[in-house]
């Protein structure tokens, strides 16, 4: 009985954990490695295990850094079931199909350069056909139902409050009369996130695998975030310019629509025309609606009153490219929500081209912007940006709204762990080294927790007493 760490070990993306029990193998998540090009190339490397020998996968949520290598797993011979929440299954259809589309674009771009260098072409990481085959393996679960997935292996999903369908996974492993309970936090939501329920608290575990993305940071309070948004919308004169909001299609967009619905009068949103300019975000919003029984108490109360919490009287959907292009002619009074979230691609770049050089434009940055992205350059105050080979002056006002995060801050992570009885040992994952180190110190100092920070390839023998644990690195020579 053991766990092996094959992803999100001392880094944020590429989640992948292998459990072995009674001769069966189960993966928890199989995510894409994202970030710098040299990191992303690692997605092309073979898996460190034989995918054909994996009996099942449990998927915490649909985000690509948790689900994105599933098509590669299937391509490499995996034949089992992929168990996930029903909303995650629906979101995976959108996100994995989009990932195949991006992979095709990447390969095409690469191949144009390679051809000029006389190099042979590369294949896309995976194709739409690989994704369609992968989707056939998905099986939908509900929160709270304990399911025996293999002899000696049972799981239960609990609401993680991170995006719709996101789950904390409880796993029971039984072998030779010994049972161990592991709890994977997955990505843990930020308490108070609009529309979603707060992460569920769990009391019992023999080992906790905890994300640590914001292990060294705290978010701004929701009150001050709403106050900031209110100020921008009420003080910007709709008659002058447009407001552009780059946003991720799944999660952030729906939270924004919901916040707009909730604060519609207070923020004076009736003076604007609001455009959701992203086919993917439009589809994701439909998935949110289809699973509205998962909404939190406030949003459920709206539903009970007959209100659609994702509807606005002046919201226009523009899935077709021509509708999107028509927005270029609007000089004032439009709020445009478009992807991509970090401005690296998608329609937001076209809206920048038509608006960013105008001083009456406002840009609202509502999500995390990674190093090296266009979004990050804007946040850092770039005076000029380049789009399609053309240099543009940034005269628009850039606002950064820091509080809208889909991840728990340090205190949220701390409190969630502190709720476990008996302080089980905890492995920190999904974090940069400083974030993990900071959280580890707090958990050790204030809760006397036993904290491990596994590196890639680490193995824990779970049949040993789970105190004073040591990570093994069988792949490394000494």
Q: Which residues contact Zn ion by CB under 5 A? A: 63, 187
Q: What is the smallest separation between the CB atom of 217 and Zn ion, expressed in angstroms?
A: 16
Pick the closer one to Zn ion by CB: 124 or 194: 194
Residue closest to 248 by CA, chosen among 155, 147, 163: 163
Q: What is the smallest separation between the CB atom of 408 and Zn ion, expressed in angstroms?
A: 11
Residue 3: which H helix or E strand, with range?
strand 2-5
Distances (CA, A) of 254 to 159, 303, 314: 18, 15, 16
Pick the closer one to Zn ion by CB: 187 or 255: 187
DSSP secondary structure string for all residues of 114-165: HHHTTPPP---SS-HHHHHHHHTTEEEE-BT--EEEETTEEEEEEE-SSSTT
Pick the closer one to Zn ion by CB: 32 or 312: 32
Q: How is residue 324 written in tokens?
A: 């999107």
Q: What is the smallest separation between the CB atom of 162 and Zn ion, expressed in angstroms?
A: 5
Residue closest to 74 by CA, chosen among 119, 17, 136: 136
| Paired residues of 147 in beta bridges | 155
Pick the closer one to Zn ion by CB: 82 or 449: 82
Pick the closer one to Zn ion by CB: 12 or 312: 12
Q: What is the smallest separation between the CB atom of 31 and Zn ion, expressed in angstroms?
A: 9
Residue closest to 171 by CA, chosen among 30, 2, 48: 2
Q: What is the largest CA-CA distance in the chain?
A: 72
Pick the closer one to Zn ion by CB: 63 or 158: 63
Q: What is the smallest separation between the CB atom of 141 and Zn ion, expressed in angstroms?
A: 18
Pick the closer one to Zn ion by CB: 20 or 187: 187
Residue 307 DSSP symbol? -
Q: What is the smallest separation between the CB atom of 407 and Zn ion, expressed in angstroms?
A: 8
Q: What is the smallest separation between the CB atom of 251 and Zn ion, expressed in angstroms?
A: 8
Q: How far, in Å, CA of 338 to CA of 363, rounded?
A: 11
């Amino acid at each position: 009985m053991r766990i092996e760490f094959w992803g999100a070990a001392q880094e944020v993306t590429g989640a992948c954990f292998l459990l072995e029990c009674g001769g069966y193998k189960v993966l928890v998540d199989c995510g894409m490695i994202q970030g710098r090009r040299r990191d992303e190339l690692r997605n092309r490397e073979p898996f460190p295990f034989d995918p054909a020998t994996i009996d099942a996968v449990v998927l915490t949520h649909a985000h690509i850094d948790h689900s994105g290598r599933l098509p590669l797993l299937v391509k490499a011979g995996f034949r089992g079931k992929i168990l996930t929440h029903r909303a995650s299954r629906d979101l995976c259809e959108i996100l994995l199909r989009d990932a195949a589309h991006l992979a095709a674009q990447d390969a095409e771009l690469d191949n144009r350069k390679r051809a000029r260098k006389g190099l042979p072409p590369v294949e896309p990481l995976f194709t739409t056909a690989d994704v369609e085959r992968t989707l056939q393996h998905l099986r939908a679960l509900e929160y709270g139902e304990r399911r025996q997935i293999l002899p000696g292996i049972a799981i239960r999903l609990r609401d993680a409050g991170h995006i719709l369908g996101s789950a904390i996974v409880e796993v029971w492993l039984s072998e030779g009369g010994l049972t161990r309970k592991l709890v994977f936090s997955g990505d843990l939501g930020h308490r108070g996130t609009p529309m979603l329920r707060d992460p569920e608290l769990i009391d019992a575990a023999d080992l906790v695998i905890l994300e640590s993305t914001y292990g060294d940071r705290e978010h701004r309070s929701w009150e001050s975030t709403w106050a900031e948004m209110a100020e921008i919308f009420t003080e910007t004169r709709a008659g002058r310019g447009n407001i552009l909001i780059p946003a991720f299609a799944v999660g952030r967009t729906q939270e924004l629509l919901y916040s707009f619905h909730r604060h519609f009068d207070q923020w004076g949103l009736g003076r604007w025309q609001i455009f959701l300019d992203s086919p993917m975000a439009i589809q994701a919003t439909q998935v949110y609606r289809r699973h509205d029984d998962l909404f939190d108490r406030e949003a459920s109360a709206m539903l009970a009153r007959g209100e659609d919490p994702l509807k606005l009287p002046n919201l226009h959907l523009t899935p077709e490219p021509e509708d999107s292009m028509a927005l270029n002619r609007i000089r004032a009074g439009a709020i445009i929500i478009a992807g991509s979230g970090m401005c690296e691609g998608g329609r937001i770049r076209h809206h920048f081209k038509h608006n960013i050089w105008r001083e009456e434009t406002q840009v609202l940055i509502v999500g995390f912007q990674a190093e090296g992205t266009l979004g990050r350059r804007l946040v850092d105050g770039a005076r000029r940006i380049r789009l399609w080979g053309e240099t543009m002056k940034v005269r628009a006002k850039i606002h950064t709204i820091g509080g809208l995060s889909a991840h728990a801050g340090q205190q949220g992570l701390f409190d969630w762990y502190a709720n476990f009885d008996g302080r089980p040992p905890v492995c920190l994952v999904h974090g940069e080294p400083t974030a993990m180190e900071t959280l580890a110190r707090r958990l050790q100092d204030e809760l006397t927790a036993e904290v491990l920070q596994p590196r890639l390839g680490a193995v824990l023998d779970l049949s040993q007493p789970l105190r004073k644990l040591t990570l093994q690195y069988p792949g490394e020579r000494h």
